[in-house]
């Protein structure tokens, strides 16, 4: 292959398009370099440094947004879609970092690499969100996964934390292997690993042969196994309760939210763009998975008395609701998924951060009983938690409701294409959200209606955590009361994806120019 | 349109929420001022809501005081408006809330701030339900009513409050989530959430297929029937009432149950007239079962509060019957009975609450001969009980009479069965009164019970005056309802006379001043010489 010379302005544009990742990685490295020179007592300053990193990254999203387009030979696509997911992921990471600072002090594991790993994981998720090429996506996936394996086991002395890390690592490696295998098959049948080029090639083959290449479908299936694992879609959810319960709570907050958003973004690119014309085939995969995910998540959560584990199951259930919107296979569906993710990240991170605080030293107070009377002891904290729980439940005036609302709306809107099955899916989702009501409400019952348990003495909520909870709560209410702006951003994000057929019209004509990877 | 008053509904709806903000800044142990401010705010809210009455044109059947702004995207609007059906329900809400606050003056002693905040939030949410003309907006308010009520029952309730609160919220949430799917389905079909626009589209340009209409009607109706509650979906109600604090019961029985019947009037009938007609016989029968069953079960209760709770099942059966009789007279009666029930049953719950404050029990056997130690309270009790059992000329009579006479015009059998409910109500209420108030004092410590205090006299006296006023000046209330009720029936008729519905259509005839729709068979019989 001949060396490609890239002009300086083009270089700069490329850098600008991945500005958030650059910022996150630089801050991660600074944290690691500074770490040895900081006295153990003042290591918490590194947390603030990392938080500043997420703020700068958030600002640098603007830089990227001003320079839309493909970066580095089309490996990365900086479009509205990628920008939207970047914001979600970075906000989640920032909140998780805020929640970690005092947590790590409390647990006696205040170390710089923790924050560095969070930043690297976030950078990986950013790559996932923008990847236009499957190997690049794989790199992003590995960056985020490997960092999170380590983060899961960060409470080295706690048995359950080690178990979580081990489980997550072993199963996660399997999942990424499946993903890689899927890439290989898609490459085998289309001769490209570019997401948009694969679309054109698949459509060409469909038009030529009248059917989809079986190898590509098999590849899609394997990719669904790999990514379904990351978004905890059934039947690949088995690890989630143990891992989420065992991981340090702020890590769980991050794990349950940001990777889900980033991985869903990649799934949308692969399913909606590459395999757009196979929508009738993968609709059923998503349909079945959505139903299973919702029931397993909700029924599992129903019987938990450990609040952290209950929230872990609830995040499975929420993956199911997102899959309902995903099944729509329309632009409206993408917008619904994105909006849901935005709302979900805020309320889920918020909920896990409350668990972080109430857990107290050693994360011993995770049971429902420990929440008894919290409403009287720490009214503000309990009110925040109630808000997050009600949002997860889907009560109007919270982001959770509008997430569900748009999801159901998006799914129903595709009824013309998918017929009654998608209506059935929405009804199943609706019934599930009532099942969900029971266990969310039960925590509120404990906080407000149960007599105060005597052996729990509330500790002061640290300022960093207050800020994090405040942001999450305000965001949840904002998305619930004036969701218009975010939803229209989600719509334009959805619109920025090249869904239409390459031949028919418009924006994805550029695919033709894509360098054929297997030119011989 | 009445553009000059275009902010009034927003003000009326959200004023209680602003007073919540005022309450939030108070110290939580400053009980006196929390109560005072909550009461003052709710009285102010009532005064403001009276402005609606002044500006309301009672000859106009269309929505008044409309407000219309874009909210979310192109299809979800902030659309509010009231007509003759919702006008008095709003006033009922603003009227009962100060009384509910006043009757909790002494009985709520812990977490006082949270209690009054809950009451005021619930007021905003309920008014919001009554004034929303956008299905999305309506649903938001509809769901928000649940949470404060859940806290009211769960925190300040009696023995089995947790069970009652959870049952309450799960029951009602199940109904409403299916309604949400139906709302989204309607949006999918019509492209809007705006109620008048949807009505128009369904009536003219894109009528629903009978199956879809039936399914959508079912989803809406289920949500409302649970709320009403219609037999056999009523089982959450006795539990919720028995264990709710007095103010919770007053709001629950006084206003919240009406959200269900209001929903039927506002959504089920105009949107799905053919389905409503098709299912009306079944619904009518359920309503009658509710009337008789509620009355019979109330008769045998030994718990006074549970007894009053079951009377709601019976009385709301009347309202549903009046709505589904499809007849202008019965419909007006139903709307009027919604108000009467709110006032009378609210008052009954307040009386029960006053007895509870004194004795901390609801057991009838713990009372007996109470007229001796507290003549004033018991006199007010019997007055309220009489209004609830529909004694002329008190308010209950007007409502039930209109419902029965209207129903009789279309369904002889329904009216006859329902009338038995009126008789039964006399039995259970008078018998309960007799056991509580008359005869010798049976429990010794009841002898020393204090009679009604000034505050209690004020509450019950106000309610008694309103009861009497609503009884003798009923045209004042029914006149604004008439155009709305007529227009609703007219609209349903027009739709039923579309060709595909010709088989089911009824024939409108005039009986007195009111247009009455007779089923085809009956009309034929009348037309015969």
Six-digit token string for A77: 């696509």
Q: Given a cut of 80, is residue B156 above it in pLDDT?
A: yes
Query: Counting beta carbons within 10 angstroms of the beta carbon of residue A481, is it exposed (0 to 12), middle (13 to 18) or buried (19 or more)?
Result: middle
Q: Given a cut of 50, is residue B518 above it in pLDDT?
A: no
Q: What is the pLDDT of residue A516?
A: 40
Mean pLDDT of A300-308: 90
Q: Are A448 and B154 inside 8 Å of each other by CB?
A: yes
Q: What is the pLDDT of residue A363?
A: 83
Distance CA A77, CA A511 (A): 13
Q: Given a cut of 50, is residue A162 above it in pLDDT?
A: yes
Q: Given a cut of 50, is residue B503 above it in pLDDT?
A: no
Distance CA A274, CA A198 (A): 6
**Angstroms from B173 CA to nearest CA on chain A:** 7
Please report residues of B whose CB lies closer than 8 A to that of A488: 73
Q: Given a cut of 80, is residue B501 above it in pLDDT?
A: no
- Of the candidates B207, B254, B330, B218, which has an alpha carbon nearest to the alpha carbon of residue B101? B254
Please report residues of A whose CB lies closer than 8 A to that of B144: 395-397
Residue A71 dihedral angles phi and psi, to the nearest 5°? -115, 150
B236 neighbors B167 (Cβ within 8 angstroms)? yes
**Angstroms from B219 CA to nearest CA on chain A:** 11
Please report residues of A whose CB lies closer than 8 A to that of B181: 408, 412, 426-427, 430
Please report residues of B whose CB lies closer than 8 A to that of A489: none
Give B132's Cβ-side CA count (13 Å radius): 25
Q: Is B177 on the interface with A (CB under 8 A)?
A: yes
A313: CB partners within 8 A, 6+ apart: A240, A241, A296, A297, A298, A300, A301, A304
Q: Is B502 on the interface with A (CB under 8 A)?
A: no
Please report residues of A whose CB lies closer than 8 A to that of B169: 437, 441
Mean pLDDT of B371-388: 86
A363: CB partners within 8 A, 6+ apart: A107, A155, A158, A248, A249, A308
Mean pLDDT of A92-105: 93
Distance CA A440, CA B91 (A): 34
Choosing among B24, B117, B180, which should be mutated to test the A contact, i.e. which has the most A CBs within 10 A? B180
Q: How far is CA B416 from the centre of its chain?
A: 24
pLDDT > 70: percent of chain A: 95
Query: Counting beta carbons within 10 angstroms of the beta carbon of residue A13, is it exposed (0 to 12), middle (13 to 18) or buried (19 or more)?
Result: middle
Distance CA A115, CA A53 (A): 10
A345 neighbors A457 (Cβ within 8 angstroms)? no
pLDDT tens-digit profile of A326-372? 998 888 899 999 999 999 999 999 999 999 999 888 888 888 888 88
Q: Are A441 and B170 inside 8 Å of each other by CB?
A: yes
Please report residues of B whose CB lies closer than 8 A to that of A438: 166, 170
Distance CA A235, CA A225 (A): 9
Q: What is the pLDDT of residue B515?
A: 43
**Between A416 and B8, the higher pLDDT residue:** B8
pLDDT > 90: percent of chain B: 9
Q: Which residue is associated with the tokens 């008769």?
A: B299
A386: CB partners within 8 A, 6+ apart: A375, A444, A447, A448
Q: Given a cut of 90, is residue B366 above it in pLDDT?
A: no
Q: Is B26 on the interface with A (CB under 8 A)?
A: no
Q: Given a cut of 50, is residue A505 above it in pLDDT?
A: no
In order of A449, B35, B368, B436, the CA distances from B120 in angstroms are 20, 12, 36, 33
When pLDDT is cut at 50, 70 and 90, the band that residue A501 belongs to is: low
- Of the candidates B473, B213, B248, which has an alpha carbon nearest to the alpha carbon of residue B346? B248
Q: Given a cut of 80, is residue B507 above it in pLDDT?
A: no
Q: What is the pLDDT of residue A141?
A: 94
Q: Are A448 and B185 inside 8 Å of each other by CB?
A: no
Mean pLDDT of B39-67: 86
Mean pLDDT of B69-74: 81
Q: Given a cut of 60, is residue A517 above it in pLDDT?
A: no
Instruction: Compare all CA atoms of chain B with the CA of A380 and give the residue at the minimum distance.
Output: B24
Facing residue for B184 by CB, picked from A396, A412, A445: A412
Q: Given a cut of 80, is residue A47 above it in pLDDT?
A: yes
Please report residues of A whose CB lies closer than 8 A to that of B77: none
Q: Is B154 on the interface with A (CB under 8 A)?
A: yes
- Of the candidates B468, B432, B464, which has an alpha carbon nearest to the alpha carbon of residue B295? B432
When pLDDT is cut at 50, 70 and 90, the band that residue B30 belongs to is: confident
When pLDDT is cut at 50, 70 and 90, the band that residue B65 belongs to is: confident
When pLDDT is cut at 50, 70 and 90, the band that residue B70 belongs to is: confident
In order of A6, A396, A401, B127, B346, the CA distances from B131 in angstroms are 63, 17, 21, 6, 22
Please report residues of B whose CB lies closer than 8 A to that of A407: none
Q: What is the pLDDT of residue A4?
A: 65
Average pLDDT, chain A: 88
Q: Are B166 and A405 inside 8 Å of each other by CB?
A: no
pLDDT tens-digit profile of A420-455? 888 889 989 988 988 888 889 889 888 888 887 767
Distance CA A186, CA A217 (A): 8
Which range (A166-170, B26-30, B434-438) has the least confidence?
A: B26-30
For β-strands B507-511 and B514-518, DSSP reports them as antiparallel
Q: Are B184 and A433 inside 8 Å of each other by CB?
A: no
Average pLDDT, chain B: 83
pLDDT tens-digit profile of B427-442? 888 888 888 888 788 8
Mean pLDDT of B333-354: 90
Q: What is the pLDDT of residue A515?
A: 40
**Angstroms from B171 CA to nearest CA on chain A:** 9
Residue B516 dihedral angles phi and psi, to the nearest 5°? -125, 135
When pLDDT is cut at 50, 70 and 90, the band that residue A512 belongs to is: very low
Six-digit token string for B114: 């949270």
When pLDDT is cut at 50, 70 and 90, the band that residue B508 belongs to is: very low
ipTM (interface predicted TM): 0.83
In order of A31, A101, B245, the CA distances from A37 in angstroms are 10, 18, 62
**Angstroms from A125 CA to nearest CA on chain B:** 30
């Amino acid at each position: 292959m001949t060396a490609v010379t890239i002009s300086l302005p083009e270089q700069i544009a490329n850098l600008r398009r991945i500005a958030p990742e650059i910022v996150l990685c630089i801050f991660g490295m600074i944290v690691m370099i500074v770490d040895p020179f900081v006295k153990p007592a003042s290591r918490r300053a590194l947390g603030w440094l990392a938080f500043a990193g997420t703020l700068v990254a958030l600002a640098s999203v603007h830089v990227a947004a001003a320079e839309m387009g493909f970066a580095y030979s089309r490996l990365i696509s900086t479009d509205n879609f990628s920008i939207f997911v970047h914001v979600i992921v970075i906000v989640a990471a920032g909140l998780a970092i805020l929640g970690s600072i005092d947590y790590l002090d409390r647990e006696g594991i205040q170390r710089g690499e923790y924050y560095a790993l969070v930043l690297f994981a976030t950078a990986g998720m950013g790559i996932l969100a923008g990847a236009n090429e499957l190997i690049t996506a794989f790199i992003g996936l590995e960056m985020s996964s490997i960092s999170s394996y380590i983060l899961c086991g960060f409470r080295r002395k706690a048995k359950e934390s080690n178990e979580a890390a081990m489980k997550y690592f072993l199963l996660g490696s399997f999942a990424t292997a499946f993903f890689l295998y899927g890439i290989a098959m898609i490459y085998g049948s289309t001769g490209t690993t570019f997401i948009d080029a694969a679309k054109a090639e698949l459509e060409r083959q469909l038009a030529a042969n009248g059917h989809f290449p079986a190898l590509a479908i098999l590849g899609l299936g394997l990719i669904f196994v790999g990514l379904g694992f990351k978004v905890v879609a059934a039947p690949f959810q088995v690890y989630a309760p143990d891992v989420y319960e065992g991981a340090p709570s702020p890590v769980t907050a991050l794990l349950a939210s940001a990777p889900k958003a980033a991985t869903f973004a990649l799934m949308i690119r692969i399913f909606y763009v590459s395999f757009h014309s196979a929508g009738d085939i993968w609709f059923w995969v998503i349909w079945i998975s959505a139903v299973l995910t919702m029931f397993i998540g909700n029924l599992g959560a129903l019987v938990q008395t450990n609040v952290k584990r209950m929230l872990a199951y609830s995040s499975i259930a929420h993956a199911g609701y997102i899959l309902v919107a995903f099944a729509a296979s329309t632009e409206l569906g993408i917008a619904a998924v994105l909006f849901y993710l935005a709302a979900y990240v805020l309320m889920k991170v918020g909920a896990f951060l409350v668990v972080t605080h109430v857990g107290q030293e050693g994360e011993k107070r995770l049971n429902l009983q420990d929440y008894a009377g919290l409403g009287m002891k720490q009214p503000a904290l309990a009110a925040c938690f109630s808000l997050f729980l009600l949002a997860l439940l889907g009560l109007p005036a919270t982001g959770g409701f509008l997430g569900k609302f748009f999801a159901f709306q998006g799914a129903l809107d595709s009824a013309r294409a998918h017929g009654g099955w998608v209506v059935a899916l929405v009804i199943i989702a609706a019934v599930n959200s009532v099942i969900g009501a029971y266990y969310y409400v039960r925590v509120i019952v404990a906080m407000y209606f149960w007599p105060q348990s005597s052996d729990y003495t509330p500790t002061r909520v640290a300022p960093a955590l207050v800020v994090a909870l405040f942001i999450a709560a305000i965001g949840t209410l904002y998305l619930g009361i004036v969701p218009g702006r975010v939803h229209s951003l989600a719509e334009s994000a959805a619109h920025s994806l090249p869904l239409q057929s390459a031949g028919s019209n418009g924006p994805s004509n550029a695919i033709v120019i894509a360098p054929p990877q297997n030119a011989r | 349109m009445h553009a000059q008053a275009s902010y009034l509904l927003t003000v009326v709806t959200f004023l209680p929420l602003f007073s919540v903000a005022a309450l939030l800044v108070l110290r939580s142990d400053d009980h006196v001022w929390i109560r005072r401010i909550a009461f003052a705010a709710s009285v102010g809210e009532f005064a403001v809501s009276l402005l609606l009455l002044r500006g309301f044109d009672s000859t106009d059947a269309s929505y008044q005081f409309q407000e219309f702004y874009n909210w979310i995207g192109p299809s979800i609007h902030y659309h509010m408006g009231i007509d003759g059906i919702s006008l008095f329900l709003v006033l009922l809400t603003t009227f009962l809330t100060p009384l509910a606050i006043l009757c909790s003056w002494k009985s709520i002693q812990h977490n006082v701030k949270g209690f009054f905040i809950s009451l005021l939030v619930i007021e905003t949410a309920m008014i919001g339900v009554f004034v929303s003309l956008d299905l999305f907006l309506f649903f938001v308010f509809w769901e928000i009513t649940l949470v404060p009520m859940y806290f009211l029952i769960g925190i300040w309730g009696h023995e089995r409050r947790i069970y009652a609160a959870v049952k309450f919220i799960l029951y009602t949430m199940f109904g409403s989530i299916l309604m949400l799917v139906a709302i989204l389905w309607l949006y999918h079909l019509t492209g809007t959430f705006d109620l008048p626009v949807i009505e128009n589209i369904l009536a003219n340009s894109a009528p629903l297929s009978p199956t879809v209409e039936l399914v959508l009607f079912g989803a809406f109706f289920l949500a409302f029937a649970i709320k009403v509650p219609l037999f056999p979906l009523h089982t959450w109600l006795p539990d919720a009432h028995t264990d709710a604090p007095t103010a919770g019961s007053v709001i629950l029985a006084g206003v919240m149950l009406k959200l269900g019947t209001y929903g039927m009037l506002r959504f089920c009938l105009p949107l799905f007239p053919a389905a409503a007609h098709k299912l009306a016989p079944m619904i009518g029968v359920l309503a009658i079962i509710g009337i008789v069953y509620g009355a019979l079960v109330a008769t045998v209760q030994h718990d006074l509060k549970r007894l009053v709770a079951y009377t709601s099942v019976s009385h709301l059966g009347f309202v549903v019957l009046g709505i589904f009789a499809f007849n202008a007279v019965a419909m007006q009666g139903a709307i009027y009975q919604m108000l009467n029930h709110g006032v009378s049953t609210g008052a009954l719950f307040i009386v029960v609450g006053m007895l509870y404050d004194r004795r901390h029990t609801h057991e009838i056997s713990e009372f007996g001969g109470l007229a001796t130690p507290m003549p004033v309270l018991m006199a007010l009790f019997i007055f309220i009980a009489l209004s609830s059992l529909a004694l002329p000329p008190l308010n209950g009579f007007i409502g039930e009479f209109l419902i029965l006479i209207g129903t009789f015009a279309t369904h002889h059998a329904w009216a006859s069965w329902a009338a038995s409910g009126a008789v039964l109500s006399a039995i259970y209420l008078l018998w309960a009164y007799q056991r509580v108030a008359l005869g010798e004092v049976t429990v010794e410590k009841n002898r020393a019970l204090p009679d009604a205090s000034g505050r209690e006299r004020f509450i019950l006296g106000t309610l008694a005056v309103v009861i009497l006023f609503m009884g003798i000046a009923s045209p004042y209330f029914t006149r604004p309802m008439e155009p709305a009720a007529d227009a609703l029936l007219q609209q349903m008729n027009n739709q039923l006379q579309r060709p595909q519905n010709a088989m089911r259509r009824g024939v409108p005839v005039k009986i007195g001043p009111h247009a009455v729709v007779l089923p085809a068979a009956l009309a034929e019989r009348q037309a015969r010489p």
